[in-house]
Structure 1
């Protein structure tokens, strides 16, 4: 990249950072457009909706009159979102919009005629712009509702509002690990939840399914999440964490409410997976593109009914293995004839995704849409999946490496 190209890239970045400090979340698309305009580009930001079916145009871009939504299936923008690969379409360049490995949507860049999108200076400029835009969305969204409201396509229940406010971002990546979760129905969920974290080289993973399909069930799930996070932050092990959840749920609901779940700890340096299963469907192990086994150990009584006792099971993962945690709302989803979606279909979808080398979040998006379609769009129970990909190097593929030369 020559000096003039580097100076222009720096000017775009400086303009963005100067402009974004006092911008509320709803003004971020306009900040991106103004920064892109310094290099003669137009820019529009599209955010994915909660059901991950469409990309919704955020107001404030240039030119100002785009389509309101673009379907993910069958569009160039949708392919960029699915595959996380920039694509050109004439003088338009579509770029993934990410924070780390979490997918927010895409940016549409309208380039001057004759611009070469593979030119190193152009690549460097759009990479920096998209990187900073993604980070700013993650940082600014908690301070306002504008972008959150844009992603909504229908009304959300109070129970769902509470639970979604407690969930972590759907996707996380660090060296050697990608974790991705999904939960449906995203507008009316009640009692499923998932969580993850990485502390001192250990990934902490959990999926929970509380009793009830109303606000009370959501409260049980919320207390379970709080007890789980409190235990993790206090440095407690799996036994002690289960005991803490037993105490929190059991005392508050007098042993009348309970939670099934899987709690796991994955050592990133070695692939050692330790887990406890409290009355929950056994996780699946995907190896070399095939579901090779159910992780059936670590059984104990339901959370909220026990005393923390039980066994901790152990499994040693191999590089590129997937550990798949899920709730029974996936396998027990029924079609109009009463047929279950079932474990076989779940395994088939995971294996097809592995064959196609799909990123974990795209695997879960397609899986959940298939589960919803199986029930004609109406779930009888909440459905949740959490996938951990260990030591795969996939975390490095969520954004192309900088162009050399």
Structure 2
């Protein structure tokens, strides 16, 4: 092995950060001296090896930037050496030039398949060698620039991932409780974003001693914009502060009562259009439930149809569709009423459930959902929600493509009868 270092020549532009390291491999010592002499006017660190086996040892300990290897050598030939070179782990790309007297198309194809970047015909012309090395350095510079940009991109992506993980924690904290017993009833929540953050929100809050508000929201789109809007809407329906909860209205006696559901939807619609001034809109289902009588008054604003599952397992889809919130100014909304009897439950679910789809493109319909609800009719609360969610995943044969959220309100009947 004979190291050779020469002064800078005008024909080759070296790497700005370090001299390029060139490994010349040939089983002819004469050929090694000839090529080294041709590289003498370029600012390269030149290393030579008399065989491919020796060259592999050099590559393992001091990886070269460029390899110039003869094709025909005793022992391992040039293409086999190139394959072995490509299998080695490297921090950066290595440029490989094969020296050959072969000109047949099949031979050239064989060399390219082995991983070679370029060819030089023997005997080697000095000017052509320098020109090929200039081209090789351009390739290496592009690889290095791309690697640097990829490293920067990975760093940025890692930072975004960290922020999104924290955002997910914050969004999950919007659901302060996923279960509560009211004595005569219980409510359970399911919120499963498809990404780090999602556009779904579910929740509940006491209106007074005998009434509770339940809601489900689905903001259009996905990602950060939807998540930010969800966070703002959560503030409008906060159970921690009646003064800030738009679903609550203060009476003339200073007592907070529930705002009629249809009125709430209309108020949110105007608020989104006038104050938020965003292109996003959302669907909403909000129910005001009497814990004593089981009376339900709800509004459906573009959200999937609410479900009442009777004690017998029978499933009823209720509601009237309605327009999404924040889409059309002056939109009007209607209230829907129903009544729960002891053993019944009210289910508010998102389109992540109602639009579950098989790989063949078949979407589950009301009959399919009803069958799943009936299958797990004996389960309650969170166990029921998880079982339904798993069944839908199995039916779709893949992970959900949309956020999945639901509210289940199970009514056990009043302890006293006020009828």
Specify the TM-score bucket, using the shorter chain as the normaliser.
0.5 to 0.7
Q: Deviations over 1:168-215 (max 9, x none)?
A: 321111111111111224763410110112232101010011111111
User: Compared with structure 1, are the counterparts of its residues 303 and 159 closer, same or farther at alpha carbon in structure 2 (3 Å cutoff)?
Assistant: farther
1:249-398 matches, within 5 Å, as 249-254=272-277, 256-297=279-320, 299-305=321-327, 306-307=329-330, 309-354=332-377, 357-391=378-412
Q: Deviations over 1:93-136 (max 9, x none)?
A: xxxxxxxxxxxxxxxxxxxxxxxxxxxxxxxxxxxxxxxxxxxx
Larger radius of gyration: 2
Please give the alpha-carbon distance, in whole angstroms, between the structure 2 residues aligned to 1:247 and 1:157. 33
> Could you tell me how far 1:244 is from its partner in structure 2?
3.5
Which of these residues, 196, 205, 216, is aligned with residue 188 of structure 1? 196
Q: Secondary structure at the match of 1:164?
A: helix
1:1-400 matches, within 5 Å, as 157-185=165-193, 188-200=196-208, 201-229=210-238, 230-234=245-249, 235=257, 236-254=259-277, 256-297=279-320, 299-305=321-327, 306-307=329-330, 309-354=332-377, 357-391=378-412
> Could you tell me how far 1:339 is from its partner in structure 2?
2.1
Q: Secondary structure at the match of 2:247?
A: helix
Please give the alpha-carbon distance, in whole angstroms, between the structure 2 residues aligned to 1:233 and 1:392. 25
> Could you tell me how far 1:291 is from its partner in structure 2?
3.3
Please give the alpha-carbon distance, in whole angstroms, between the structure 2 residues aligned to 1:228 and 1:177. 21
Whether the aligned pair in 2 keeps the contact of 1:205 and 1:265 (CA below 8 Å) is: yes
Q: Secondary structure at the match of 1:384?
A: strand
Q: Secondary structure at the match of 1:290?
A: coil
Whether the aligned pair in 2 keeps the contact of 1:155 and 1:187 (CA below 8 Å) is: no
Whether the aligned pair in 2 keeps the contact of 1:227 and 1:248 (CA below 8 Å) is: no
Please give the alpha-carbon distance, in whole angstroms, between the structure 2 residues aligned to 1:337 and 1:293. 28
User: Compared with structure 1, are the counterparts of its residues 307 and 266 closer, same or farther at alpha carbon in structure 2 (3 Å cutoff)?
Assistant: same
User: Compared with structure 1, are the counterparts of its residues 251 and 219 closer, same or farther at alpha carbon in structure 2 (3 Å cutoff)?
Assistant: farther
Please give the alpha-carbon distance, in whole angstroms, between the structure 1 residues aligned to 2:262 and 2:361. 38
> Could you tell me how far 1:348 is from its partner in structure 2?
1.8
RMSD of aligned C-alpha atoms?
A: 2.6
User: Compared with structure 1, are the counterparts of its residues 279 and 365 closer, same or farther at alpha carbon in structure 2 (3 Å cutoff)?
Assistant: same
> Could you tell me how far 1:347 is from its partner in structure 2?
1.6
User: Compared with structure 1, are the counterparts of its residues 158 and 187 closer, same or farther at alpha carbon in structure 2 (3 Å cutoff)?
Assistant: farther
Whether the aligned pair in 1 keeps the contact of 2:299 and 2:319 (CA below 8 Å) is: no
User: Compared with structure 1, are the counterparts of its residues 233 and 296 closer, same or farther at alpha carbon in structure 2 (3 Å cutoff)?
Assistant: closer
Whether the aligned pair in 2 keeps the contact of 1:210 and 1:217 (CA below 8 Å) is: yes
Q: Secondary structure at the match of 1:300?
A: coil
Whether the aligned pair in 2 keeps the contact of 1:191 and 1:210 (CA below 8 Å) is: yes
Whether the aligned pair in 2 keeps the contact of 1:372 and 1:378 (CA below 8 Å) is: yes
Structure 1 residues without counterparts, runs of 5 or longer: 1-153, 395-405
Q: Deviations over 1:33-78 (max 9, x none)?
A: xxxxxxxxxxxxxxxxxxxxxxxxxxxxxxxxxxxxxxxxxxxxxx
Q: Secondary structure at the match of 1:182?
A: strand
For normalisation by structure 2, the TM-score amounts to 0.52
